[in-house]
Amino acid sequence: MDSQLSLLAGYVAGANSIEDLTRPMLRLIQQLTGLESTYLTSINFPAGVQRIEYVLNAGKLQLPEGLEVPWHDTLCKRALESGRFITSDVAATWPDSAAAKALGLQTYMSVPVVDAVGEVCGTLCGASSQQLQLQDRPELLQILQLCAELISVQWARDRQQQSTLLRASRAERELSTVKLLAAVSDFAVAAQSLPLAVEQVADLMRQSGQWQHIFTFSTGADQQRLWQETAPAAELESWLSQADLSVTGSNIQVLPGATCPPQFSGSHSSLLNIYDAQGVVAGLLVISANDHLTGEQQLMLSGIGNTLSLLATRLQEHQQLSDLNEQLTYHARHDALTGLPNRRYLLEELERLIARGNRQQLGFYLIFVDLDKFKQINDQFGHETGDEFLRQVGQRLSECLRKGDFVARQGGDEFVMLCQAQEISKEQAQLLVNRIRQTCSGVYSLGTHKVLYHGPSIGTVSWHSGDSRELDLLLSLADVAMYQDKQRRRAMPAPQLLN
């Protein structure tokens, strides 16, 4: 027996797993007993199943590894309940065993493998169609029981190691998830473009190796379109155009097999929808290599979807604020009646033009336009007609602008024009005045009235590089020039009604 114990000690020392320990033990037991088959089983009591884990077949009897049989009808259960761990006459001992009859068993050996809490978790067995006298060898039962104890210890080690590996694997996956979600959050915080952020996140997800394919798409104009150019783009866009993204309550929309894209019908597909305040604006079509999403993957996808939805909402709100700011800026710098720049915008443009003129040695004309007899139009035809007249004058002034020129409504019936010039001369100034007066003169269709207007008073001052930068001074000089022109035009007739 000492030699057998020495062998067992060697098996234990060299074993790294339950299989490493069990297979040489089965060989030793076969050599000691002469049994045709020696094997180790596990028992799943909740399922009522006994399974052969490892087997050594050395004769006519051939038992397969992985064989599962109902526990309630096994010889091991009978041996455990009766305490008959070795018998050389199976037929007489357990005549009701159909399996024993079918296999023609005569000799049977079974000792329980008990776990750390005293529960039976398996059996160490041997069987033969030959009748072998083993029950009179007490040292054999001792060796079998010792082997069962060693197997129990190794099984516990394996389970502990497996549990440790599972925990480590779970921790690694959780760390990977945390890193991925952190990276997604970083992109979302810094992103100024939703399409770019979604593509970057999709790349991160692809690199994680947890999904087989990921396609990004946008929604709009009542259809979905892929952002990413892919080989099956046409087919996917056709499928996406018919996909229903109206599902609410979750940003993950699991697609049943019948509704998956045809080219991925054998895979698990999900739509990760990205929302802003108006609804779904983008998303990811996620194709998993597995036949289902794990709980961790669902949490990860949900976290990614929530983060990208927050980004979409933030960008939408930012765009709304930008649009509103543009509108406010526009209204702050433009005249509500004519749509022309107002005095504030005029002063900004005048300052910019002076700075540019000093840098580039350019000049310009500041032209002050006052609508003579405008009060008579208001008094005779009403303020609504007067407002329409102002709008049409503003439109005519805009139409006579050259490239780079500027016109603003100073206020009331006064307009100011800034006309750039390479060279400044009285002749050119007079040409501008004549063109403006001709543009503003003539017949105006004001509602039901046709009114003949004889033109405005116009005052012009020129500015050269190096001249005064005082904006109010320039405007005052143009105003003075306009009043001088008004004095010369005092005899001009009032606006005339033609119908």
**Amino acid, res. 396:** R
Tokens 């794990």 belong to residue: 294
d(CA 176, CA 23) in angstroms, rounded, equals: 38
At residue 47, the 3 state secondary structure works out as coil
Judged on CB neighbours under 10 Å (0-12, 13-18, 19+), 495 is buried
Second-level CATH architecture of 191-328: 2-Layer Sandwich (3.30)
Q: Which CATH superfamily is domain 343-497 in?
A: Reverse transcriptase/Diguanylate cyclase domain (3.30.70.270)
What's the Cα-to-Cα distance from 289 to each of 170, 212, 264, 266, 269, rounded to whole Å? Answer: 19, 5, 10, 9, 9
d(CA 312, CA 195) in angstroms, rounded, equals: 10
Cα Rg, the chain, nearest whole Å: 48
Residue 158: CB atoms within 10 A of its CB come to 17
What confidence score (pLDDT) does residue 249 get? 57
d(CA 117, CA 471) in angstroms, rounded, equals: 97
User: Looking at the chain, how many residues does it have?
Assistant: 499
Apex 182 CA angle, 178 and 184, nearest 5: 120
Cβ atoms of 215 and 201 closer than 8 Å: no
List the chain domain ranges: 2-160, 191-328, 343-497
d(CA 130, CA 494) in angstroms, rounded, equals: 137
d(CA 39, CA 27) in angstroms, rounded, equals: 10
Which strands sit side by side in the sheet containing 449-453, from one edge to the other? 442-446, 449-453, 496-497
- Both tokens of 185, joined, read 């959050």
Please state which CATH class domain 2-160 belongs to. Answer: alpha beta
- Both tokens of 325, joined, read 């700011």
Contacts of 307 (CB under 8 A, 6+ apart): 181, 184, 185, 188
For residue 154, how far is the Cα from the chain centroid? 47
At residue 399, the 3 state secondary structure works out as helix
d(CA 40, CA 19) in angstroms, rounded, equals: 10
d(CA 186, CA 225) in angstroms, rounded, equals: 26
Walk along the chain (499 residues) and give the pLDDT tens digit of each residue: 555 555 555 555 456 888 988 998 899 899 989 999 999 999 999 999 999 999 999 988 999 999 999 999 899 999 999 999 999 999 999 999 888 888 899 999 999 999 988 999 999 999 999 999 888 888 888 888 988 998 998 898 888 888 888 888 777 777 788 888 888 899 888 889 888 888 888 888 888 888 788 888 777 654 455 555 444 555 566 666 656 655 555 677 776 654 566 666 666 777 888 888 888 888 777 877 666 777 777 888 888 889 998 999 999 999 999 999 999 999 999 999 999 999 999 999 999 999 999 998 889 999 999 999 999 999 999 999 999 999 999 999 999 998 889 999 999 999 999 999 888 899 999 999 999 999 999 999 999 999 999 999 999 999 998 888 899 999 999 999 999 999 999 988 989 988 7
What confidence score (pLDDT) does residue 244 get? 60
What confidence score (pLDDT) does residue 175 get? 78
Q: Tell me which long-range contacts 96-105 makes (C-beta under 8 A, separation of at least 24).
A: 97/73, 98/73, 99/69, 99/73, 99/74, 99/75, 100/75, 103/61, 103/127, 103/129, 104/129, 105/61, 105/75, 105/129
41 phi and psi angles, rounded to 5 deg: -120, 160
For residue 271, how far is the Cα from the chain centroid? 10
Contacts of 157 (CB under 8 A, 6+ apart): none
Tokens 């933030």 belong to residue: 314
At residue 146, the 3 state secondary structure works out as helix
d(CA 26, CA 54) in angstroms, rounded, equals: 9
CATH topology of 2-160 equal to that of 191-328?
Answer: yes
What confidence score (pLDDT) does residue 222 get? 46
What confidence score (pLDDT) does residue 206 get? 85
Question: Beta strand pairing status for 213-220 and 120-128?
Answer: unpaired
